[in-house]
Protein backbone atom coordinates (compact mmCIF):
# COMPACT_ATOMS: atom_id res chain seq x y z
CA UNK A 1 0.00 0.00 0.00
CA UNK A 2 1.31 3.43 -1.00
CA UNK A 3 0.15 6.94 -0.17
CA UNK A 4 1.56 9.90 -2.08
CA UNK A 5 1.69 13.45 -0.79
CA UNK A 6 2.36 16.45 -3.01
CA UNK A 7 4.74 19.10 -1.71
CA UNK A 8 4.23 18.53 2.01
CA UNK A 9 5.27 21.47 4.17
CA UNK A 10 6.31 21.92 7.77
CA UNK A 11 4.96 25.28 8.90
CA UNK A 12 7.07 25.51 12.09
CA UNK A 13 10.53 24.04 12.35
CA UNK A 14 13.78 24.74 14.18
CA UNK A 15 16.72 24.07 11.88
CA UNK A 16 19.32 25.54 14.28
CA UNK A 17 22.78 26.42 13.00
CA UNK A 18 26.30 25.11 12.36
CA UNK A 19 26.80 21.35 12.89
CA UNK A 20 23.22 20.83 14.06
CA UNK A 21 21.87 22.59 10.95
CA UNK A 22 24.01 20.36 8.73
CA UNK A 23 22.64 17.29 10.54
CA UNK A 24 18.93 18.16 10.63
CA UNK A 25 18.29 20.25 7.50
CA UNK A 26 18.60 17.34 5.03
CA UNK A 27 16.25 15.31 7.24
CA UNK A 28 13.56 17.98 6.81
CA UNK A 29 14.26 18.15 3.07
CA UNK A 30 13.79 14.38 2.79
CA UNK A 31 10.13 14.74 3.75
CA UNK A 32 9.16 18.32 3.04
CA UNK A 33 9.22 20.65 0.10
CA UNK A 34 9.26 23.85 2.17
CA UNK A 35 9.15 24.93 5.80
CA UNK A 36 8.68 27.99 7.97
CA UNK A 37 12.01 28.34 9.74
CA UNK A 38 12.04 29.70 13.27
CA UNK A 39 14.38 32.60 14.07
CA UNK A 40 15.31 31.74 17.69
CA UNK A 41 19.03 31.31 17.13
CA UNK A 42 21.55 32.71 19.58
CA UNK A 43 21.42 35.64 18.96
CA UNK A 44 17.97 35.65 17.31
CA UNK A 45 17.45 36.78 13.71
CA UNK A 46 16.65 40.49 13.97
CA UNK A 47 18.56 42.05 11.06
CA UNK A 48 18.43 41.72 7.27
CA UNK A 49 22.10 40.72 7.24
CA UNK A 50 21.51 37.89 9.73
CA UNK A 51 18.43 36.80 7.80
CA UNK A 52 20.22 36.59 4.46
CA UNK A 53 23.26 34.90 5.97
CA UNK A 54 21.12 32.28 7.75
CA UNK A 55 19.12 31.65 4.57
CA UNK A 56 22.40 31.05 2.77
CA UNK A 57 23.64 28.63 5.42
CA UNK A 58 20.37 26.66 5.23
CA UNK A 59 20.59 26.35 1.45
CA UNK A 60 24.20 25.22 1.78
CA UNK A 61 23.18 22.56 4.31
CA UNK A 62 20.46 21.30 1.92
CA UNK A 63 22.93 20.76 -0.91
CA UNK A 64 21.09 19.63 -4.05
CA UNK A 65 17.85 18.72 -2.29
CA UNK A 66 14.65 20.51 -3.33
CA UNK A 67 13.53 22.48 -0.29
CA UNK A 68 12.55 26.08 0.21
CA UNK A 69 13.27 27.56 3.65
CA UNK A 70 10.65 30.24 4.34
CA UNK A 71 12.32 32.72 6.62
CA UNK A 72 10.97 34.53 9.66
CA UNK A 73 12.20 37.42 11.72
CA UNK A 74 12.26 37.49 15.51
CA UNK A 75 9.57 40.00 16.54
CA UNK A 76 10.72 43.23 18.18
CA UNK A 77 8.31 46.05 18.96
CA UNK A 78 10.77 48.72 17.81
CA UNK A 79 11.16 47.70 14.15
CA UNK A 80 10.56 50.65 11.80
CA UNK A 81 8.33 50.71 8.71
CA UNK A 82 11.36 51.13 6.45
CA UNK A 83 13.07 48.13 8.02
CA UNK A 84 9.96 45.93 7.74
CA UNK A 85 9.42 46.97 4.12
CA UNK A 86 12.91 45.80 3.26
CA UNK A 87 12.61 42.66 5.41
CA UNK A 88 9.32 41.76 3.72
CA UNK A 89 11.30 40.93 0.57
CA UNK A 90 12.94 38.05 2.43
CA UNK A 91 10.39 36.80 4.95
CA UNK A 92 6.89 35.35 5.19
CA UNK A 93 6.27 36.03 8.85
CA UNK A 94 7.50 37.42 12.14
CA UNK A 95 7.62 35.21 15.19
CA UNK A 96 6.57 36.74 18.47
CA UNK A 97 7.83 35.23 21.71
CA UNK A 98 6.94 36.54 25.14
CA UNK A 99 10.34 37.12 26.74
CA UNK A 100 11.86 34.00 28.34
CA UNK A 101 8.86 31.74 27.61
CA UNK A 102 10.84 29.04 25.76
CA UNK A 103 14.26 28.11 24.34
CA UNK A 104 16.25 31.19 23.19
CA UNK A 105 13.39 33.64 23.65
CA UNK A 106 15.09 35.98 26.11
CA UNK A 107 14.96 38.89 23.64
CA UNK A 108 11.21 38.51 23.14
CA UNK A 109 8.56 41.06 24.06
CA UNK A 110 8.44 42.08 27.72
CA UNK A 111 4.70 42.80 27.60
CA UNK A 112 1.81 41.82 25.34
CA UNK A 113 0.33 45.33 25.71
CA UNK A 114 -1.51 46.04 22.44
CA UNK A 115 -0.47 49.70 22.29
CA UNK A 116 3.22 48.78 22.55
CA UNK A 117 2.84 46.26 19.74
CA UNK A 118 0.56 48.44 17.59
CA UNK A 119 3.12 50.27 15.40
CA UNK A 120 4.77 47.05 14.16
CA UNK A 121 1.49 45.13 13.84
CA UNK A 122 -0.05 47.96 11.76
CA UNK A 123 2.88 47.87 9.36
CA UNK A 124 2.71 44.07 9.19
CA UNK A 125 -1.01 44.31 8.34
CA UNK A 126 -0.19 46.78 5.55
CA UNK A 127 2.56 44.57 4.16
CA UNK A 128 0.60 41.31 4.44
CA UNK A 129 3.18 39.77 6.78
CA UNK A 130 1.94 36.96 8.99
CA UNK A 131 2.27 37.08 12.78
CA UNK A 132 3.29 33.75 14.30
CA UNK A 133 2.86 33.67 18.07
CA UNK A 134 4.19 31.47 20.85
CA UNK A 135 1.07 31.90 22.96
CA UNK A 136 1.91 31.23 26.58
CA UNK A 137 1.77 33.40 29.70
CA UNK A 138 4.20 32.85 32.55
CA UNK A 139 1.47 31.33 34.72
CA UNK A 140 1.10 27.74 35.94
CA UNK A 141 2.57 25.49 33.25
CA UNK A 142 -0.70 23.67 32.44
CA UNK A 143 -2.65 26.95 32.18
CA UNK A 144 -0.23 29.10 30.19
CA UNK A 145 -1.82 28.62 26.80
CA UNK A 146 -5.38 28.87 28.10
CA UNK A 147 -4.47 32.12 29.84
CA UNK A 148 -3.03 33.45 26.59
CA UNK A 149 -6.33 32.98 24.71
CA UNK A 150 -7.65 36.38 25.80
CA UNK A 151 -4.50 37.94 24.31
CA UNK A 152 -5.14 36.12 21.03
CA UNK A 153 -8.67 37.53 21.09
CA UNK A 154 -7.45 41.09 21.72
CA UNK A 155 -4.88 40.81 18.93
CA UNK A 156 -7.38 39.34 16.48
CA UNK A 157 -9.92 42.10 17.19
CA UNK A 158 -7.43 44.96 17.22
CA UNK A 159 -5.76 43.94 13.94
CA UNK A 160 -8.47 42.41 11.74
CA UNK A 161 -6.31 42.57 8.58
CA UNK A 162 -3.44 40.72 10.24
CA UNK A 163 -3.23 36.95 9.83
CA UNK A 164 -2.27 35.52 13.21
CA UNK A 165 -1.00 31.96 13.57
CA UNK A 166 -1.37 30.45 17.02
CA UNK A 167 1.70 28.25 16.95
CA UNK A 168 1.78 24.66 18.20
CA UNK A 169 -1.61 24.81 19.92
CA UNK A 170 -2.20 22.29 22.69
CA UNK A 171 -5.60 23.11 24.18
CA UNK A 172 -9.27 22.82 23.35
CA UNK A 173 -9.63 26.53 24.16
CA UNK A 174 -7.25 27.47 21.33
CA UNK A 175 -9.09 25.13 18.96
CA UNK A 176 -12.34 26.94 19.80
CA UNK A 177 -10.84 30.32 18.80
CA UNK A 178 -10.37 29.16 15.20
CA UNK A 179 -14.08 29.42 14.50
CA UNK A 180 -14.52 32.60 16.48
CA UNK A 181 -12.05 34.90 14.68
CA UNK A 182 -11.61 35.00 10.95
CA UNK A 183 -7.95 36.01 11.20
CA UNK A 184 -6.80 33.35 13.69
CA UNK A 185 -5.10 30.23 12.35
CA UNK A 186 -3.05 27.48 14.01
CA UNK A 187 -0.23 25.06 13.56
CA UNK A 188 -0.46 21.66 15.23
CA UNK A 189 2.49 19.37 15.93
CA UNK A 190 2.71 15.61 15.58
CA UNK A 191 3.58 15.05 19.21
CA UNK A 192 0.61 17.03 20.54
CA UNK A 193 -1.66 14.77 18.44
CA UNK A 194 -0.12 11.69 20.03
CA UNK A 195 0.79 12.37 23.64
CA UNK A 196 -0.58 13.89 26.84
CA UNK A 197 1.22 14.95 30.00
CA UNK A 198 0.86 11.33 31.13
CA UNK A 199 3.33 10.26 28.45
CA UNK A 200 5.83 12.92 29.53
CA UNK A 201 5.66 12.65 33.29
CA UNK A 202 2.95 10.15 34.26
CA UNK A 203 5.39 7.27 34.56
CA UNK A 204 9.15 7.49 34.27
CA UNK A 205 10.13 10.98 33.10
CA UNK A 206 10.62 11.15 29.32
CA UNK A 207 12.95 14.05 28.54
CA UNK A 208 12.66 13.54 24.78
CA UNK A 209 8.91 14.30 25.02
CA UNK A 210 9.43 17.43 27.09
CA UNK A 211 8.60 20.57 25.13
CA UNK A 212 6.96 23.97 25.31
CA UNK A 213 4.03 24.16 25.38
CA UNK A 214 3.89 21.03 27.53
CA UNK A 215 1.51 18.29 26.33
CA UNK A 216 -1.87 18.67 28.04
CA UNK A 217 -4.97 16.63 28.88
CA UNK A 218 -6.79 13.89 26.97
CA UNK A 219 -9.67 16.22 26.05
CA UNK A 220 -7.18 18.73 24.63
CA UNK A 221 -5.49 16.09 22.51
CA UNK A 222 -8.89 14.94 21.28
CA UNK A 223 -9.83 18.49 20.20
CA UNK A 224 -6.53 18.82 18.31
CA UNK A 225 -7.04 15.43 16.71
CA UNK A 226 -10.55 16.24 15.51
CA UNK A 227 -9.58 19.48 13.70
CA UNK A 228 -6.46 17.86 12.25
CA UNK A 229 -8.13 14.69 10.98
CA UNK A 230 -10.83 16.68 9.26
CA UNK A 231 -8.15 19.10 8.00
CA UNK A 232 -10.04 22.12 9.27
CA UNK A 233 -9.06 24.80 6.73
CA UNK A 234 -7.48 27.01 9.40
CA UNK A 235 -5.05 24.42 10.73
CA UNK A 236 -1.69 23.46 9.26
CA UNK A 237 0.91 20.94 10.19
CA UNK A 238 3.89 22.52 11.94
CA UNK A 239 6.17 19.96 13.52
CA UNK A 240 7.90 22.32 15.98
CA UNK A 241 10.71 19.82 15.52
CA UNK A 242 13.21 21.25 17.99
CA UNK A 243 16.46 19.28 18.14
CA UNK A 244 18.81 19.56 21.10
CA UNK A 245 22.01 17.55 21.53
CA UNK A 246 21.50 14.51 23.74
CA UNK A 247 23.56 15.99 26.61
CA UNK A 248 21.11 18.92 26.80
CA UNK A 249 18.13 16.53 27.05
CA UNK A 250 19.43 13.73 29.24
CA UNK A 251 20.65 15.88 32.10
CA UNK A 252 19.55 17.80 35.13
CA UNK A 253 17.82 20.81 33.52
CA UNK A 254 16.42 19.29 30.32
CA UNK A 255 16.00 21.63 27.32
CA UNK A 256 12.47 21.87 25.86
CA UNK A 257 11.87 20.44 22.39
CA UNK A 258 10.87 17.21 20.64
CA UNK A 259 12.79 16.19 17.52
CA UNK A 260 10.32 14.85 14.96
CA UNK A 261 11.42 16.09 11.53
CA UNK A 262 12.65 12.72 10.19
CA UNK A 263 9.67 10.69 11.41
CA UNK A 264 6.80 13.17 11.15
CA UNK A 265 5.30 12.17 7.81
CA UNK A 266 5.55 8.46 8.56
CA UNK A 267 3.82 8.90 11.93
CA UNK A 268 1.17 11.27 10.53
CA UNK A 269 0.37 8.79 7.77
CA UNK A 270 0.00 6.04 10.36
CA UNK A 271 -2.27 8.24 12.49
CA UNK A 272 -4.52 9.41 9.63
CA UNK A 273 -4.68 5.86 8.22
CA UNK A 274 -5.66 4.46 11.60
CA UNK A 275 -8.58 6.92 11.72
CA UNK A 276 -9.56 6.25 8.07
CA UNK A 277 -8.78 9.89 7.24
CA UNK A 278 -5.78 9.50 4.91
CA UNK A 279 -7.64 11.48 2.24
CA UNK A 280 -7.38 14.59 4.44
CA UNK A 281 -3.65 14.39 5.08
CA UNK A 282 -2.78 16.32 1.91
CA UNK A 283 -4.76 19.34 3.10
CA UNK A 284 -3.32 19.13 6.60
CA UNK A 285 0.30 18.94 5.46
CA UNK A 286 0.20 21.25 2.46
CA UNK A 287 -2.97 22.66 0.87
CA UNK A 288 -4.28 24.52 3.92
CA UNK A 289 -0.91 26.16 4.45
CA UNK A 290 -0.68 27.14 0.79
CA UNK A 291 -4.00 28.96 1.09
CA UNK A 292 -3.26 30.57 4.45
CA UNK A 293 0.23 31.74 3.49
CA UNK A 294 -0.65 32.45 -0.16
CA UNK A 295 2.38 30.41 -1.17
CA UNK A 296 3.08 27.69 -3.73
CA UNK A 297 5.85 25.32 -2.64
CA UNK A 298 8.29 23.65 -5.05
CA UNK A 299 6.76 20.53 -6.58
CA UNK A 300 7.79 17.37 -4.82
CA UNK A 301 6.15 13.94 -4.64
CA UNK A 302 6.65 12.11 -1.38
CA UNK A 303 5.42 8.54 -1.31
CA UNK A 304 4.86 6.59 1.86
CA UNK A 305 4.64 2.83 1.82
CA UNK A 306 3.07 0.58 4.41
CA UNK A 307 6.36 -1.11 5.26
CA UNK A 308 7.62 -0.91 8.86
CA UNK A 309 10.21 1.76 9.56
CA UNK A 310 12.73 1.12 12.34
CA UNK A 311 13.38 4.55 13.75
CA UNK A 312 17.11 5.02 14.41
CA UNK A 313 18.29 5.44 18.01
CA UNK A 314 19.73 8.80 17.02
CA UNK A 315 20.52 11.08 14.12
CA UNK A 316 23.97 12.45 14.91
CA UNK A 317 23.71 13.38 18.57
CA UNK A 318 19.97 14.05 18.52
CA UNK A 319 17.41 11.53 19.72
CA UNK A 320 14.20 11.53 17.68
CA UNK A 321 10.70 10.81 18.91
CA UNK A 322 10.10 7.00 18.64
CA UNK A 323 13.86 6.31 18.80
CA UNK A 324 14.43 2.55 18.53
CA UNK A 325 10.73 1.90 17.91
CA UNK A 326 8.92 0.78 14.79
CA UNK A 327 6.49 2.89 12.74
CA UNK A 328 4.01 1.27 10.34
CA UNK A 329 4.89 3.45 7.33
CA UNK A 330 8.19 4.34 5.65
CA UNK A 331 9.29 6.92 3.14
CA UNK A 332 9.66 5.25 -0.25
Residues identified as active-site: 240
The contacts of residue 57 (CB under 8 Å, 6+ apart) are: 17, 21
Q: Which does 281 bind (CB under 5 to 8 A by kind): ligand NCD, Zn ion, none?
A: none
Q: Does 270 bind Zn ion (CB under 5 A)?
A: no
Q: Of 28-36, 100-108, 114-122, 225-233, which segment contacts ligand NCD by CB under 6 A?
A: 100-108
Question: DSSP strand E in 216-322: where?
Answer: 235-237, 301-305, 309-310
Task: Please report how close the Cβ of residue 242 comes to Zn ion at its closest, in angstroms.
Answer: 5
Q: Does 102 bind ligand NCD (CB under 6 A)?
A: yes
Task: Please report how close the Cβ of residue 272 comes to Zn ion at its closest, in angstroms.
Answer: 23
- E strand or H helix at 71, and its extent? strand 68-74
Q: Does 256 bind ligand NCD (CB under 6 A)?
A: yes
Write down the H helix ranges in 32-113: 48-62, 81-87
Q: How many CA atoms lie within 13 A of 130 on its CB side?
A: 27
Closer by beta carbon to ligand NCD, 120 or else 258: 258
Helix or strand or coil: residue 327?
strand
Closer by beta carbon to ligand NCD, 8 or else 238: 238
Closer by beta carbon to ligand NCD, 108 or else 297: 108
What number of other Cβ atoms are within 10 A of residue 318's Cβ? Answer: 25
Task: Please report how close the Cβ of residue 293 comes to ligand NCD at its closest, in angstroms.
Answer: 18
Q: Does 145 bind Zn ion (CB under 5 A)?
A: no
Nearest-angstrom CA–CA distance, 10 and 241 = 9
Q: Are 196 and 215 within 8 A, CB to CB?
A: yes
Q: Does 240 bind Zn ion (CB under 5 A)?
A: yes
The residue ranges that bind Zn ion (CB under 5 A) are 240
Amino acid sequence: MTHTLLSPMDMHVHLRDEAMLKCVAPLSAQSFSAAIVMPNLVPPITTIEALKAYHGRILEAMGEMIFEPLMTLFFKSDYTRAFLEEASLYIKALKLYPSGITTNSEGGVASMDIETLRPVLEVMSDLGLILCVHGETNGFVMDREKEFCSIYESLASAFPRLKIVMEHITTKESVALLDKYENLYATITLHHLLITLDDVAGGMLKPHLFCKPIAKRYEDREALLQVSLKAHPKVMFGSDSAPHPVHKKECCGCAAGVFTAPIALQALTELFHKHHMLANLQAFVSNNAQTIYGYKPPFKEISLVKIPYDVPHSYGDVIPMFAGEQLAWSLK
